[in-house]
Structure 1
Amino acid sequence: MRYDDSPPLPESRSSISPDRPWFARRPALTVALAALAPACLAGWVLTQVLTGPGPDGRQPAGMPLTASRPAAASDAKSSATPGTGPSATPGPAAAGTGAPSAAPAKGPLAGRTVVIDPGHNTGNFQHASEINKQVDIGTNRKECDTTGTTTNSGYMEAEFSLDVSRRTRALLEAKGVKVVFTHEADRPWGPCIDERARIGNEAAADAVVSVHADGASAGNRGFHVILPARVKSGAADTARIVGPSRDLGERIARNFGRTTGSDPANYLGSGTGLVVRDDLGGLNLSTRPKVFLECGNMRDDKDAAQLMNPEWRQKAAQGIADGIVGFLGG
């Protein structure tokens, strides 16, 4: 269709009646063109609407914008993607921004809450005075936190624990679980061990897992799960969580060993992969079923090679998630 500002071609002189001058027919011609123009314009508008924006992505000048495609669910919220380092995971929308709230979780375990506690914090090395302050763990007082260990090549336990925790979160969220972290290295240091316990308690978590790697001497290999002992002193009272915590720990140990191919620790736990302790504030102060998992020994070269392998870390996360899902009845 021709649509521009050029004038219409004049009629041939031979078509004009000899007894009427050409200019006398202008009114009739004008009327005909006036009737034709709206139809042409309507056809052009319809074409633009059907074909959409031009190749440069813009609507034609003077045209109203067409409604945009609603964002898919994956556009609204990104899950943590397993990788070799920390994943970019968006936090909740800032208060007062008017952003829509996230859609309710869907899956067989929707409505269940799990707290994941990535051990230590990479910033702890630069905040010795803060993490050395004593906090009350019920049975006694201990340091707020520690730096954690490293492999002989310098890979930090705090890096490892955060990476595995993020991978575990993605797997649990796929089941509909609400996952709460105690931190994501989004603070300079900490949190302290009493705060870590408090986060799990206040979330009314169905299960809490603290992810770590050990720093024993070379030759000591394998994983172990630390269970809370029965303690009652000050703010510590684990009577109600000892039983369910053991169930949680046993399930994680079985699944972790199966998915990673790792053996239970050869240096403690008598080959069971289970150890009971009464000196960890994160367990003593917890009112929710909770365990610590030491995924391997960073100071042993063979274990360290596994811990630094992203594919192995994904298997570790799968083992943790499977154990938690089994505990929750999923």
Structure 2
Amino acid sequence: MSYTGPDPDAPRVPRRRRLPALVTVAALAVAAPAVWLGWQVIGGTGEGALKKATPPASGSPSPTDDAKNGTVPLPLKGKVVVIDPGHNPGNFRHTTDINRTVNIGNESKECDTTGTSTDAGYTEARFTLDVARRMRTILEKQGATVKLTQDGDRPWGPCIDERARIGDKAHADAVVSVHADGSAAGNRGFHVILPAAVHAGAADTRPIVAPSRDLGERIGTAFHQVTGEPRSNYIGGGTGLDTRSDLGGLNLSTVPKVFIECGNMRDPRDAARLTSGAWRQKAAQGISEGIMSFLRR
């Protein structure tokens, strides 16, 4: 907008007459805050009403911004989750190492196995490691401290007893061992394996049976909802839950822990899902949501 100067014919105002006006304006500027404060006190509105009446300044941080800046705690802050990717892609090269036996409390079992694969050769070990890494990303964004029992950073293993100790030493709030099954074609669906009550040798699962069942049920529900994978039609009687006493990873755990068999690699319909990166992301999301539900209960 342009500026137009005063009319040259207008009478000139003597300079000395501006002083009273300036003094008056200054006095009002000084008195205004006191008048406003007095009105607030008399009116009974107080500081809260003043804040409510004042709109937030442009660019003020929102609660989401606060969370990003770390001023609002993330949902899983302070929680420790251990993810156990079943088997190891290099196990097949170290059969002597993985075939040695370890004590699991009530019996002895092989240190580890090679796992299964699809008919086309996509291995369970590759599947579990991929899903575990995706889960780590999801859970860390929620504030959890996440540890993997192996991250493709060792040639084989670890053995099942060491896998259990990793969760125990981390004082994990939840441990999930990720697997895929190798049953006959036509057998499909997922199932979650829960620890039985075992008290023998170094094994005593009695304190973790109940919380592990809670963890497993929540994972099963979330996994089914997110992935659309049906509950197993060959294990668990339609519940998608199976309780076992012969798994060292469960027997030797002192913290809540479950296994999940995400599907059957030998069934063509399940294999099509397990080999899909998009579906593996859903699997990671479903398992993670079950863990989050358990930790926020």
Equivalent residue in structure 1 for 2:245, among 264, 274, 278? 278
Q: Is structure 2 residue 153 aligned with structure 1 residue 186?
A: yes
Number of the residue aligned with 1:288 = 255
Q: Is structure 2 residue 203 aligned with structure 1 residue 233?
A: no
How far apart are the structure 2 equivalents of 1:105 and 1:215?
44
Q: How does 1:3-22 map to 2 (within 5 A)?
A: none
Q: What CA deviation, in whole Å up to 9, does each residue of 1:201-253 have, x standing for no partner?
A: 00000000000000001000000000000010000000000000000000000
Q: Aligned letter for 1:188?
A: P
Number of the residue aligned with 2:75 = 108
Equivalent residue in structure 2 for 1:135, among 89, 92, 102? 102
Number of the residue aligned with 2:268 = 301
1:105 positional shift: 11
SS in 2 for 1:165: helix
- Residue segments in structure 1 that go unaligned for 5+ positions in a row: 1-102
How far apart are the structure 2 equivalents of 1:125 and 1:299?
19
Q: What CA deviation, in whole Å up to 9, does each residue of 1:124-182 have, x standing for no partner?
A: 01110000000010001000000000000000100000000111111100110000110
Distance 1:106 1:187, change over 3 A: farther
Is the CA contact (8 Å cut-off) linking 1:105 and 1:177 kept in structure 2? no
Distance 1:301 1:105, change over 3 A: farther
Q: Aligned letter for 1:147?
A: T
Give the alignment's Cα RMSD to 1 decimal: 1.4
TM-score (structure 1 length as normaliser): 0.68
Equivalent residue in structure 1 for 2:191, among 199, 224, 243? 224
1:107 positional shift: 1.3
Number of the residue aligned with 1:118 = 85
How far apart are the structure 2 equivalents of 1:211 and 1:104?
34
Q: What CA deviation, in whole Å up to 9, does each residue of 1:72-113 have, x standing for no partner?
A: xxxxxxxxxxxxxxxxxxxxxxxxxxxxxxx99951211000
How far apart are the structure 2 equivalents of 1:216 and 1:185?
26
How far apart are the structure 2 equivalents of 1:224 and 1:260?
13
Equivalent residue in structure 2 for 1:249, among 216, 219, 226? 216
Whose helix fraction is larger, Structure 1's or Structure 2's? 2
SS in 2 for 1:241: helix
How far apart are the structure 2 equivalents of 1:259 and 1:178?
23
Number of the residue aligned with 1:326 = 293
Q: Aligned letter for 2:119?
A: N
Q: Is structure 2 residue 174 aligned with structure 1 residue 207?
A: yes
Q: Aligned letter for 1:264?
A: R
Is the CA contact (8 Å cut-off) linking 1:229 and 1:278 kept in structure 2? yes
SS in 2 for 1:200: helix
Number of the residue aligned with 1:197 = 164
Matched positions, count: 228
SS in 2 for 1:220: coil
Equivalent residue in structure 2 for 1:146, among 113, 116, 136? 113
Is the CA contact (8 Å cut-off) linking 1:105 and 1:178 kept in structure 2? no
Runs of 4+ displaced beyond 2 Å: 103-106
SS in 2 for 1:240: helix
Number of the residue aligned with 1:176 = 143
Q: Aligned letter for 1:211?
A: V
Q: Aligned letter for 2:207?
A: R
Q: Aligned letter for 2:120?
A: S
- Residue segments in structure 2 that go unaligned for 5+ positions in a row: 1-69
How far apart are the structure 2 equivalents of 1:175 and 1:132?
38
Q: Aligned letter for 1:285?
A: L
Q: Aligned letter for 1:182?
A: T
SS in 2 for 1:225: strand
